[in-house]
Structure 1
Amino acid sequence: MRFPEKSLRVEHFDEPQLEFAFSQRSPHPKDGLFLYGPHAKAKKSREIRVGVVGTTDGIGHFRTWGRKLNSVVQVPPPGKGEKADRLHLANFPGLDEAFGISFEPDECSTLSIAWKDIDRATRIINLNEAVDKVARLYIDRVRQHLRNDERSVDVWILVLPEIVYERCRPQSKRTGLPMEKGDFTKRQRAKESIPLFSAMGVIDQTEEAIFEDVPDFHRRIKAEFLKIAPTQLVRETTLAPEAFLNKANYPVRKTQDAATVAWNLATGLYYKTQPKPPWRLADVRPGVCYIGMVYKSLPHDPDGHACCAAQMFLNEGDGVVFRGANGPWKTGDYEFHLKAPAAKNLLALVLKTYTETHGGPPKELFIHGQTYFNDEEWNAFVDAAPKETNVIGVRIRSTGGETKLFRDGDYPVLRGTALLLDDQTAYLWTTGYVPQLDTYIGPETPNPLHITVMRSKNDKPDIRTVLADIMGLTKINYNSCNFNDGLPVTVRFARMVGDVLTMGSAKGEERQPFKFYV
């Protein structure tokens, strides 16, 4: 896209600062944790309770990694053609040193599953049934532990053989495998009617709900564990790439370097076991709340209904997911809009939670969506908010290759560069060259986000304020320890949250910490 030269207004937003222990600041999570520790650091090391479910080999791989986390994990030496000072990589100093938590790998609650049972279940003819059977192997072992063992668990680590990843996702191709006959053979509920009676009496249809869900192991596990505890799914090949080699004696899949894996695993362990996340935004204005709207079409629904939800994020605490009503929210190929009662009820639930936590409503409530807001839903949002709360609707959309901006002719732009089109519309490059890392981490020329301030209850905020906020929200993905994400957290996980909420086993959870979904 080309713009007249006189219309170009290019600005740059500084890298948002993060806050760590002792109110110390750094823009990089790894630097802040290494130097200061998490912002809610305790005086003494906290021992976390970890449960591990997997094959005997998988449990062994995790224990080996657990021991590594107790010490320094070095960045490997640079390969051929790589810079010696790869500033986007960092040595991992140890779980206790960086996060102030610890666990004893040999004393974890371990629940083993026979590999042959997983293999057999993944080869059941009907994919829905295969995914259900594999998920139940993990879920039933945990439920049995909860019934028989008094030891509580803060986070469950589910270690997955590669066959689960390969065979238990939507449209998994299981060609060439000796298939197993399941309880439902080839029958698909959507295609064939199921008789209510047989010569043996009434047929039990309680398990038929598996055909209403998308056959996806990850979604099923996350949905089921909403009622149990946070989970971390990790593949055996991530923990022990050297144990899975191809014919040429190379690992079967390329993984991140060991230090990066350690940082990400440790960040997830801390986030999912502690009351507050490891870092927070340092300069967020007081009384500001951010909401990301989530919509997901319900699978196999004859009426075309969708699930709606809202993700709430603040600068000082964990995110919360609020489930709204299912209904006819889809109005176009990529457009979703709530009816007034559903919009009002969903926002009222968010505001109630915020008020309970802070003793009063927010001053500003930003609603981030990927579509526009129609009159009916917007008026309902405004009606649900008290008069002292300014509600602002912001549309955030990813772009393709139609808009490019270069630095010094052909270099990627700096992360934080913005092209302001008018007082309420801008392109924002949340990816790009980062001077502190001396690199641009990306496969191609960075593409911007298209940001539009759509509506406002009172005065519209300055577009620069909106852009600065979005930059900050790209730095609070606590499921990894990256310098930044390309999308703000309000949008980044919308699809993942929607995927989980549309699973049948997720019903009934009106409000749940965000950490359960990632």
Structure 2
Amino acid sequence: MKKLIFIEEPNILFAYGQKCVDARDGLTLFGPLNKIYGIKSGVISTQNGLQIFKNYIQHIQKPIFNANNITRPMFPGFEAVFGCKWEQESIVYKEVKNEEIGKMLYNESTHKRTYDLVTLFLDKIVTANKNEDEKVDVWFVIVPEEIYKYCRPNSILPKELVETRAKISKSKAKNYNYQPSFFDDYDKDLKQREEEAKTYHYDAQFHDQLKARLLQYTIPTQIIRESTLAWRDVKNKFGMPVRDFSKIEGHLAWTISTAAFYKAGGKPWKLSDIRSGVCYLGLVYKKIDTSNNPKNACCAAQMFLDNGDGTVFKGEVGPWYNPDNREFHLKPKEAKTLLSQALLSYREQNGENPKEIFIHAKTKFNKTEWEAFQEVVPSETNLVGITITKTKPLKLFKKEGSYPIMRGNAFVVNEKSAFLWTVGYVPKTESALSMEVPNPIFIEINKGKADIEQVLKDILSLTKLNFNACIYADGEPVTLRFADKIGEILTASLDIKAPPLAFKYYI
């Protein structure tokens, strides 16, 4: 019977060449990999949202503790951790008035109210970005709870709050065919119907739609609910906080601070022991629900290098989805284009071709698309296709002890496949990165040749590159961790033409 192997916890690199396994320890002891002078904040919010933001920035300048300091370390304070200033007065502010929100929020159509409110915030950001003399590092969009509640798919506005009736139903809007008429200029209702029908081309999700429509402007944003920053004050009808962070208040500070530092241009850490000359690509697919063709989907690739930098390349929309086997596959032309973009970007950053390219996907590669990938890859580059899924169940239980299987354990099935536990018990924190019996991910070398143990080490390392949450590790490699969210942003508006952009513009 085959035995488990154990992969040591990957190190990450911080300032002064110091290594550590936990990002929070590394930042506290040594500081970020590269520093910035400070964060110049742009804030788009109501007056109440601005005050909430200022109060929170002041709050995180001092140490913040969690209820459990072993599993989640305390936050020492922003400047103490990152060695730069983030001041509550260093702000460019653009107000969104409650009256402006009220005019758009109480529309019966979820798509219409979401589109109009996104437009309201977006116009203020874009205008300010063009006209302000002071350069803003990150724009913080502080969202009132009502916008979060009623600007999501399937959200329903209570009848007593409806002030404007929908002009067209969702089913009619999807197949709306505008026919010019001699009386167009006099038919106000027709114009309103046409305008509302266009909003159904966009996803009724405030966060994703705003991110999608901002891509062309390359403006880094952090969208935060008021109830996240002022969680003690925003309460439900029972007088309880809508979001209760009382037990993980320090964790919240770590997460918001690290994301802000990263989006402002800093690099918190990078992988320390990863091989040089290696490029990791994660394929992203998302079905387009608004399309009449059930096969239509959007595709993209996330590229990550050994230095931790991430770039997203948007591919073409096409019939990539097969409803019969529920798999996504590119046609040769699109496969070549997507990989060629990644190779060009790699050469621009490194001055040479990569030694190895690992393509990660949730479905197997077929012969046609793989041959297309091979055609554009230089002869000196080793191309490997890796399938990563959670669909093959394998649970292991310990006979003794209170904790589950350790993170880093792997069961190698053969030279091409293995189960890897990316969650599980972590001795350092004396806790498990899972509330349930940990499930492994199944890893298969689907195309090309590589050492399976090296593949497992790389994938475990890639679980430590999530700059959007300062945690010990993730349950998925970063190449696939954000695949669904990036897909949702790319399909939130099919009219958006996104150039290759840094990963920070999507998260």
Higher deviation after alignment, 158-167 or 253-262: 253-262
Q: Deviations over 1:116-142 (max 9, x none)?
A: 432442321111111101111211222
The offset of 1:507, in angstroms, is 2.2
Which amino acid in the other structure matches residue 463 of structure 2?
T
Alignment of 1:178-217 (within 5 A): 178-181=161-164, 184=167, 186=169, 188-197=172-181, 199-201=183-185, 208-217=197-206
Higher deviation after alignment, 347-356 or 107-116: 107-116
Q: Distance in 1 between matches of 2:160 and 2:423?
A: 42
Which amino acid in the other structure matches residue 396 of structure 2?
L
**Corresponding position of 1:430:** 422
Instruction: Say if 1:86 and 1:92 are closer, same or farther in 2 by CA, change over 3 A.
Output: closer
The offset of 1:262, in angstroms, is 1.0
**Corresponding position of 1:496:** 485
Gaps of 5+ in 2: none
Identity among equivalent pairs (%) = 35
**Corresponding position of 1:259:** 250
Alignment of 1:54-133 (within 5 A): 54-75=45-66, 78=67, 86-133=69-116
Whether the 8 Å contact between 1:310 and 1:321 is mirrored in structure 2 is yes
Q: Distance in 2 between matches of 1:183 and 1:176?
A: 12
Q: Deviations over 1:290-320 (max 9, x none)?
A: 0000111223222332111110001214200
**Corresponding position of 1:22:** 16
**Corresponding position of 1:82:** none
Whether the 8 Å contact between 2:28 and 2:76 is mirrored in structure 1 is yes
Alignment of 1:378-397 (within 5 A): 378-397=370-389
Please tell me whether residue 289 in structure 1 is matched to residue 279 in structure 2: yes
The offset of 1:404, in angstroms, is 0.5
Which amino acid in the other structure matches residue 418 of structure 2?
A
Q: Distance in 1 between matches of 2:79 and 2:268?
A: 13
**Corresponding position of 1:243:** 233
Which amino acid in the other structure matches residue 494 of structure 1?
A
Q: Distance in 2 between matches of 1:503 and 1:198?
A: 34
Please tell me whether residue 329 in structure 1 is matched to residue 320 in structure 2: yes
Q: Distance in 2 between matches of 1:257 and 1:494?
A: 26
Instruction: Say if 1:246 and 1:170 are closer, same or farther in 2 by CA, change over 3 A.
Output: closer
Q: Distance in 2 between matches of 1:298 and 1:107?
A: 41
Please tell me whether residue 168 in structure 1 is matched to residue 168 in structure 2: no
Gaps of 5+ in 1: 1-5, 79-84
Instruction: Say if 1:33 and 1:471 are closer, same or farther in 2 by CA, change over 3 A.
Output: same
Match of 1:137 among 120, 128, 139: 120
Which amino acid in the other structure matches residue 439 of structure 1?
S
**Corresponding position of 1:277:** 267
Which amino acid in the other structure matches residue 394 of structure 1?
I
The number of residue pairs the alignment matches comes to: 496
**Counterpart secondary structure, 1:325:** strand
The offset of 1:253, in angstroms, is 2.6
Whether the 8 Å contact between 1:310 and 1:346 is mirrored in structure 2 is yes
Whether the 8 Å contact between 1:500 and 1:506 is mirrored in structure 2 is no
Instruction: Say if 1:102 and 1:132 are closer, same or farther in 2 by CA, change over 3 A.
Output: same
Match of 2:394 among 403, 406, 421: 403
**Counterpart secondary structure, 2:173:** coil
The offset of 1:436, in angstroms, is 0.2
The offset of 1:230, in angstroms, is 0.9
Whether the 8 Å contact between 2:232 and 2:244 is mirrored in structure 1 is no
Higher deviation after alignment, 292-301 or 145-154: 145-154
Please tell me whether residue 417 in structure 1 is matched to residue 401 in structure 2: no
Q: Deviations over 1:64-101 (max 9, x none)?
A: 011122222233xx4xxxxxx64221221222221122
The offset of 1:359, in angstroms, is 1.1
Instruction: Say if 1:406 and 1:387 are closer, same or farther in 2 by CA, change over 3 A.
Output: same
Whether the 8 Å contact between 1:429 and 1:447 is mirrored in structure 2 is yes
**Counterpart secondary structure, 1:171:** coil
Which amino acid in the other structure matches residue 291 of structure 1?
L
Q: Distance in 2 between matches of 1:252 and 1:104?
A: 27
Instruction: Say if 1:383 and 1:66 are closer, same or farther in 2 by CA, change over 3 A.
Output: same
C-alpha RMSD of matched pairs (Å): 2.0
Q: Deviations over 1:137-189 (max 9, x none)?
A: 21122233234432221111111111122111111133444213267454641
Higher deviation after alignment, 291-300 or 483-492: 291-300
TM-score of the superposed pair, with normalisation by structure 2: 0.93
The offset of 1:360, in angstroms, is 0.7
Match of 1:342 among 327, 334, 340: 334
Please tell me whether residue 158 in structure 1 is matched to residue 152 in structure 2: no
Whether the 8 Å contact between 1:296 and 1:498 is mirrored in structure 2 is yes
**Counterpart secondary structure, 2:128:** helix
Which amino acid in the other structure matches residue 53 of structure 1?
I
**Corresponding position of 1:453:** 445
Q: Deviations over 1:409-457 (max 9, x none)?
A: 474100011111111111111000000000013221111101101010x
